[in-house]
Chains A and B, each alone.
Chain A
Amino acid sequence: MEMRPTARLQGTDLFLDVLPFIDDILRYDSLSIVGLEKNTGKTECLKYVLDRLPVERKRIAVTSIGIDGETVDQVTRTQKPEIVLREGMYFGTSEAHYRQRRLVSELIDVSDESTSLGHVVSARALTTGKILLSGPSSSTSLRRWMDEMQQRFGIDLVIIDGALSRMSSASPAVSQSLILATGAAYSASMSTLVSKTAHVVDLVNLELTSDDNLQRLTPLDKGLWFIDKDGELHSLDALTSLSRDIHFQGMDGCQTLYVAGALVDGFLEKVRKNKDLKQVELVVRDFTKVFVTPQQLRLFLKAGGRMRVLQRSKLIAVTVNPTSPSGYVLDSDTLCGKLSEAIGLPVYDLIKNQQ
């Protein structure tokens, strides 16, 4: 029987309304959920996503970077919700946590990599149930696990429960998209919370550099480099942006300055104050390499500089938890509104929405 278009449209509208950003997630093969601080609602966000993904038509795998999924938060001793997997979902966790699982699951792989909690094992849930998530211990081994899952088991989407204030799992080198969880635990002052979160969002949203630069700079995985006014690529005589004696000589008319490793405040300030580099495009590998304060970044941009990346991940959403573990509560609607205005993206309070 042919379905009536109106009914379908209504259904879709309803679906979108109840499940914000779930469809966006399905456009990518990997999603990292990162909390800007403990208790910013990262695990709630993961739970929200896992409850709503269409497990019937997509092969979904979940893992975490490092030890996570403990029933009680190791740092602040607050209760953390356990992660509930649905029947048919794949997951990667440590041997120790696998033995404590509270669901029926089928083992599909035991990796060679060993963590403090034993090897990383991969399995498929045969019933719905609870699991403690841990996983590969470095971004490199995480990436290897993801490749393995995608190639050998045809996984459509890998979801990574990121570690506390560690952005590495959200690097575009690891996952294509990310969700940021922020909240009162990050800062109890609403204006500070908004500006600090907006800064992270600004970094995530840094634009890609030109195709030409992408081709020339991507293979350079260390050092400092610049492209002069004639388009020639040169190496600066310094290994990292942390070096104390970096001399910008003969850089008159320099178009592009590339920092392969971490970008720090001191270096950015030096670039800003150099008259030859007024109009420079500063390129970094990705946002996880940028360690500059909002002030320095603002001054740099104001002086005419531009910052670009070689790899970019898609920011799907920002979620907030207005409650801090110390008991301080911000007003949810005001917070969502102000943050949304500052970053130009919708912001969700998932805990409130569930109630």
Chain B
Amino acid sequence: MVDQLELQSGFARRWLLDAPLLTCGEDIMASYSVLQRFAEFVNRVEPLFINTLNHKLCDLKDIRTTIKNLHNGAVLDDIELFEVKHLAILASDVAHLLAQHGMDGVVEIPSLDEVINILDPDGMRIATFYIYDSYCAPLKELRNQMRQHPEQQDDLLLQASELEEGVRQDLSRRLHPFATAIEQAQEALARIDVNTAKAQQMKHMGLCFPTLSSDGTTRYQAMFHPQVKEALAARGREFQPVDIAIGEHPTLITGANMGGKTVVLKTLTLCQLLFQFGFGIPAAAAQIAVKDEIHFCIGDEQSVEKGLSSFAAEMKNIDAVIKASRENKKLLALIDEPARTTNPTEGAALVTALLQVLAGKDMSLVMTTHYDIEPGDTRCLRVKGFENGTMDYQLVEVQDGEVPHEALNIAQSLGIDSEWIDTARNLLETCP
């Protein structure tokens, strides 16, 4: 999702990637209220205006090193002074653009007018820089001499460089008090870039604003996976959205192969992350509970380098979930077919035990399985499944965890070798 954001500047991308996962509901809702203003703004104004804004934001550079130097009281060189002036003018231009559409103050940009005044002694208001003649009368005199007596240039340049250094020292001293404001302005511009891009993404992908769940239950209406939806659309097919609610107790999803169980888990993970990074949510409506940690165990993380088989890697991941569940944190754990790579007897026991161990914990757990297990108090959802030759991906609540036996039908519909499938069918019939 981050890759598909149309960010204008590399700095905004850096800023976004460095941003922490928000774990406080108020922070998340505050970031959505800013995004809400940007979403209205993007829908309201001419696309041409957004282009103008984006074009400006393209100019945002990462000048953190320069700002750090300024903080530390170093004397900035011409390139660094140029960078500061460039940012100050950019911040002022962007503030003006946003103010034209009542967007001033949505993201606070500190005024850097005084910085511009210091670096623009002639009041040109263009983002270019050198040690201007007007900073220092003797410097102006030396430069005039240079033009008249090119043969003395080297000597005159040497004299001028001393005067220039004096000007740089003076400018750096005068700019020093603004270091924090400059840093804030740079971050504000990144925030504007990110919010504009998020707002545009919401519009293009049909994402929704979530609300904060107060009862610990997360609910999605018509949830979809953006990439899968796009891939299907490219082949002229439609993604079937799913409604789902997850409370603070284990939920078991069963269903036929190719029933979209893994996609549901992936989408739940994606949505939770998008929520806690303040992005639009791929659903018609969403009410989401904040979590401290999100665990996603897909079970195919075997690592030859680390010498872990797929079973060992999976066990370790789930082990981390159990350990975290004892730490009084709000967890969301999504586990795809645990213990699928071992024998069904032990596998089913592991899954049943896992449900029992995690049942009492203050966590949201969603797990998929193909094993026939005794669900106990676990809430069970089942993919509607294969009907009349098509797959219905909707989830329905069922009383038991009985798994559908559709693997052979599905394999047949895939055109898998009939000798193999028929032999399997015979085996099932002869030894039930």
Interface residues of A (CB under 8 A from B): 87, 95, 98-99, 102-108, 110, 112, 119, 121, 123-124, 126-129
Residues of B within 8 A of A119 (CB): 79
Taking a contact as CB atoms under 8 Å apart, the answer to whether B146 and A110 are in contact is: no
Taking a contact as CB atoms under 8 Å apart, the answer to whether B61 and A102 are in contact is: no
Residues of B within 8 A of A103 (CB): 157
B37 contacts A by Cβ under 8 Å: no
Taking a contact as CB atoms under 8 Å apart, the answer to whether A126 and B130 are in contact is: yes
B204 contacts A by Cβ under 8 Å: no
- Across the interface, name the chain A residue whose C-beta is closest to B144: A127
- Across the interface, name the chain B residue whose C-beta is closest to A121: B79
- Across the interface, name the chain A residue whose C-beta is closest to B10: A112
Residues of B within 8 A of A106 (CB): 128-130
Taking a contact as CB atoms under 8 Å apart, the answer to whether B77 and A99 are in contact is: yes
Taking a contact as CB atoms under 8 Å apart, the answer to whether A110 and B130 are in contact is: no
Partner of A107, one of B82, B146, B147: B82
- Across the interface, name the chain B residue whose C-beta is closest to A129: B153
- Across the interface, name the chain B residue whose C-beta is closest to A119: B79
Taking a contact as CB atoms under 8 Å apart, the answer to whether A105 and B147 are in contact is: no
Q: Nearest Cβ in chain A — how far from B148, in angstroms?
A: 11
Residues of A within 8 A of B154 (CB): 102
Residues of B within 8 A of A105 (CB): 130
Taking a contact as CB atoms under 8 Å apart, the answer to whether A129 and B10 are in contact is: no
Chain A contact surface mostly:
strand
Residues of A within 8 A of B236 (CB): none
Nearest 6 CB-CB pairings of A with B: A107-B82, A106-B130, A108-B128, A107-B129, A127-B146, A106-B128
- Across the interface, name the chain B residue whose C-beta is closest to A87: B147
Residues of B within 8 A of A110 (CB): 61, 79, 82-83, 86
Interface residues of B (CB under 8 A from A): 10, 61, 77-79, 82-83, 86, 127-130, 143, 146-147, 150, 153-154, 157, 160
Taking a contact as CB atoms under 8 Å apart, the answer to whether B61 and A112 are in contact is: yes
Contacts A99-B77, A110-B83; is A104 near B128 (CB within 8 Å)? Answer: no
Q: Give the CA-CA distance A124 to B78 in the complex, in Å.
A: 13
Residues of B within 8 A of A108 (CB): 127-128
Chain B contact surface mostly:
helix
Residues of A within 8 A of B153 (CB): 102, 127-129
Taking a contact as CB atoms under 8 Å apart, the answer to whether A107 and B157 are in contact is: no
Q: Nearest Cβ in chain B — how far from A271, in angstroms?
A: 40
Residues of B within 8 A of A127 (CB): 143, 146-147, 153
Q: Nearest Cβ in chain A — how far from B16, in angstroms?
A: 17
Taking a contact as CB atoms under 8 Å apart, the answer to whether A107 and B79 are in contact is: yes
Taking a contact as CB atoms under 8 Å apart, the answer to whether B61 and A107 are in contact is: no
Residues of A within 8 A of B10 (CB): 112
Residues of A within 8 A of B127 (CB): 108
Q: Nearest Cβ in chain A — how far from B134, in angstroms?
A: 13
Contacts A87-B147, A105-B130; is A129 near B78 (CB within 8 Å)? Answer: no
- Across the interface, name the chain B residue whose C-beta is closest to A122: B128
Q: Nearest Cβ in chain A — how far from B144, in angstroms?
A: 10
Q: Give the CA-CA distance A126 to B160 in the complex, in Å.
A: 14
- Across the interface, name the chain B residue whose C-beta is closest to A124: B128
Residues of A within 8 A of B150 (CB): 128
Q: Nearest Cβ in chain B — how far from A141, in angstroms?
A: 14
Q: Nearest Cβ in chain B — how far from A88, in angstroms?
A: 12
- Across the interface, name the chain A residue whose C-beta is closest to B146: A127
Q: Give the CA-CA distance A355 to B76 in the complex, in Å.
A: 44
- Across the interface, name the chain B residue whose C-beta is closest to A98: B79
Residues of B within 8 A of A112 (CB): 10, 61
Residues of B within 8 A of A124 (CB): 128
A–B Cβ pairs within 8 angstroms, 12 of them: A95-B79, A98-B78, A99-B77, A104-B143, A106-B128, A106-B129, A107-B129, A110-B61, A119-B79, A121-B79, A126-B143, A127-B153
- Across the interface, name the chain A residue whose C-beta is closest to B131: A104
Q: Give the CA-CA distance A95 to B154 in the complex, in Å.
A: 21
Residues of A within 8 A of B146 (CB): 104, 127
Q: Give the CA-CA distance A103 to B154 in the complex, in Å.
A: 9
Q: From B77, B127, B143, B153, name the one whose CB has the most chain A CB atoms within 10 angstroms.
A: B153
Q: Give the CA-CA distance A102 to B160 in the complex, in Å.
A: 11
Residues of A within 8 A of B82 (CB): 107, 110
Q: Give the CA-CA distance A128 to B78 in the complex, in Å.
A: 19
Q: Nearest Cβ in chain B — how far from A332, in angstroms?
A: 30
Q: Nearest Cβ in chain A — how far from B89, in angstroms?
A: 13
Q: Give the CA-CA distance A105 to B143 in the complex, in Å.
A: 11
Q: Nearest Cβ in chain A — how far from B253, in angstroms?
A: 46
Q: Give the CA-CA distance A112 to B147 in the complex, in Å.
A: 33
Q: Nearest Cβ in chain B — how far from A172, in angstroms?
A: 28
Residues of A within 8 A of B160 (CB): 104
Q: From B82, B127, B143, B154, name the one whose CB has the most chain A CB atoms within 10 angstroms.
A: B82
Taking a contact as CB atoms under 8 Å apart, the answer to whether B128 and A107 are in contact is: yes
Q: Nearest Cβ in chain B — how far from A91, in angstroms?
A: 13
Q: Give the CA-CA distance A123 to B131 in the complex, in Å.
A: 13
Q: Give the CA-CA distance A166 to B146 in the complex, in Å.
A: 37
Q: Give the CA-CA distance A332 to B105 in the complex, in Å.
A: 72
Residues of A within 8 A of B147 (CB): 87, 127-128
Q: Give the CA-CA distance A99 to B157 in the complex, in Å.
A: 13
Q: Give the CA-CA distance A253 to B157 in the complex, in Å.
A: 70
Q: Give the CA-CA distance A126 to B129 in the complex, in Å.
A: 12
Q: Nearest Cβ in chain B — how far from A154, in angstroms?
A: 13
Contacts A127-B147, A128-B147 known; 10 new A-B pairs at CB < 8 A: A95-B79, A99-B77, A99-B79, A104-B160, A106-B128, A110-B86, A123-B130, A126-B130, A127-B146, A128-B153
Residues of A within 8 A of B79 (CB): 95, 98-99, 107, 110, 119, 121
Contacts A107-B78, A110-B79, A110-B82; is A102 near B157 (CB within 8 Å)? Answer: yes
- Across the interface, name the chain A residue whose C-beta is closest to B139: A104
Q: Give the CA-CA distance A123 to B127 in the complex, in Å.
A: 12
Taking a contact as CB atoms under 8 Å apart, the answer to whether B130 and A107 are in contact is: yes
Q: Give the CA-CA distance A99 to B86 in the complex, in Å.
A: 19
Residues of A within 8 A of B128 (CB): 106-108, 124
Q: Nearest Cβ in chain A — how far from B34, in angstroms?
A: 27
Q: Nearest Cβ in chain A — how far from B179, in angstroms?
A: 19
Q: Give the CA-CA distance A104 to B147 in the complex, in Å.
A: 10
Residues of B within 8 A of A126 (CB): 130, 143
Q: Give the CA-CA distance A87 to B146 in the complex, in Å.
A: 11
Q: Give the CA-CA distance A106 to B160 in the complex, in Å.
A: 15
Partner of B157, one of A95, A98, A121, A129: A129
Residues of A within 8 A of B61 (CB): 110, 112
Residues of B within 8 A of A107 (CB): 78-79, 82, 128-130
Q: Give the CA-CA distance A124 to B147 in the complex, in Å.
A: 15
Q: Nearest Cβ in chain B — how far from A94, in angstroms?
A: 11
